[in-house]
Amino acid sequence: MRVLALNCGSSSIRCAVIDTGSGQRGAVRHEELAGRTHEAVLADWTEAWRNSESAEIRKVEAIGHRVVYGGESFRTAAAIDLEVLGRIEAVSHQAPLHNPANLAGIRALSAAFPELPQVAVFDTAFHHSLPAHAFLYALPYAFYKEHGFRRYGFHGSSHRSAAEAARDRLGLPMEGSRVLVAHLGNGCSAAAVRNGLSIDTTMGASPLEGLVMGTRSGDIDPSLGERIAEIRGLDFAGVTKLLNRESGLLGLSELSGDMRELEQAARKGHEGAIRAIEVFTYRLAKALASLVVPLAGLDALVFTGGIGENSAQVRQRTVAWLLPLGLAIDATRNARHGEEHGGLVSPDGHTPVLVVPSDEEAAIAAETAAALGEAERS
């Protein structure tokens, strides 16, 4: 099946046309928003597809959309109809940087290609295999039973595809495999993947929990919310916005939420940039070490996402904190992102540390085809 996979992120939009049978891809596009809205970029794209790229687009049989938050409602990908669209809209407040962008993509492409089936592929779905002791919060249990308060996890398509790629490269069977995945981009999360299933992850009920991110704080003491509100004169929505859009690397550095800019500034001695990178890598390493507990061992550590794939410094500094676990980095391999060693950036004889390019679009396409196949059989 030829699927147009659309990935509307918090700061960029990516897409690709993927043949799920052959793996062949075309019409790849990637654009940073740079102050533009998702709607404006998508309007340009659909106009271009109607013109110069129309021949290829006419061969598309379905469209798959990344949707970050599905909550308890969606445990697998789902064909989009008015009911599914309404259920996505109803929970979008749980992922304010993402679900509105995902909905913009659904609306734009549904209007441009009304004849094509559209499928929602949920980040949270991959993490529905978390056991209760991993997903429950230590709140009165009624909040879970009656309101669904729990940890869901995100970046599911990325974690799934990166773990699969690592097993393939290392020749690991799925049964018994223990893979730790660090997805590092503007949003960041880590996941423990055992036997091909997510058994714990760093993000929680929303994409705000967990690691330090580009503009998101990650874990903080909940009591700080009240003090932040008092100091800044904010209501609860204002505090949430500050934690999502003004914190993380941006807040720590007082310069930028972009790791590329921070690394350049750090080389020139910028104290804020140095501080942000140190906090980022330390918190990441601490989280990765904790995820070895549910794995009960480790067969591979995988770095993926824009930062994970491209920042040798982040990989080196993170793994340096993990020496007690027997992990190590080969400086030469790491500088070249493992390109000549199948992605390996660790020395021979050590637990493999790999760089795996994120391929969320291929995962979205595969899940789209599977969902439509299930729909046809039901």
Residue 151 pLDDT greater than 80, yes or no: yes
3-class DSSP state of 268: coil
| Residues 94-140 pLDDT 10s | 888 789 999 999 999 999 899 999 999 999 999 999 999 999 999 99
Shared domain check, 145 and 196: no
Of residues 353 and 53, the one with the higher pLDDT is 353
CA distances from 372 to 1, 65, 316 (A): 10, 13, 42
Is residue 378 packed enough to be buried (19+ CB in 10 Å), middle (13-18) or exposed (0-12)?
exposed
Instruction: Give every CB contact of residue 96 below 8 A, 6+ residues apart in sequence.
Output: 240, 244
**Claim to verify: residue 178 and residue 136 sit in the same structural domain:** no
- What pLDDT digit, counting tens, does each position of 194-224 carry? 999 999 999 999 899 999 999 999 999 999 9
DSSP state of 97: T
In a domain, 318, yes or no: yes
Order of strands across the sheet with 118-122? Answer: 25-32, 12-19, 2-8, 62-67, 118-122, 78-79
Q: How many domains does the chain have?
A: 2
| C-beta separation of 197 from 218 below 8 A | no
Query: pLDDT confidence of 153, banded at 50, 70, 90?
Result: very high
> Do residues 348 and 372 share a domain?
no
> In terms of domains, do 192 and 123 share one?
no
Number of other residues whose CB lies within 10 A of the CB of residue 71: 18
Percent of the chain at pLDDT above 70? 98
- 314 and 218 in one domain? yes
Exposed, middle or buried: residue 236 (CB in 10 Å: 0-12, 13-18, 19+)? exposed
Mark whether 219 is an active-site residue. no
Q: Do 93 and 20 share a structural domain? A: yes
- Reading the block at residue 230, the tokens are 């008092």
Task: Tell me the C-alpha distance between 357 and 332, whole Å.
Answer: 19
Chain-wide mean pLDDT for the chain? 93
For the entire predicted model, the pTM comes to: 0.89
Q: How far is CA 39 from CA 3, 102, 108, 190, 221, in A?
A: 21, 10, 7, 30, 36
Query: By residue range, what is the domain housing residue 69?
Result: 2-152+364-377
Based on the fold, state whether residues 208 and 340 are members of the same structural domain: yes
Please identify which of the residues 123, 200, 258, 299 carries the catalytic annotation: 123
* Half-sphere CA count of 369, side-chain side, radius 13 A: 19
pLDDT at 378 over 50: no
CA 63, CA 10: separation in Å to the nearest integer?
20
Segment 2-40, tens digit of pLDDT: 999 999 987 889 999 999 999 888 778 889 888 899 999
CATH of the domain at 341: 3.30.420.40
Is the pLDDT assigned to residue 263 strictly greater than 50? Answer: yes
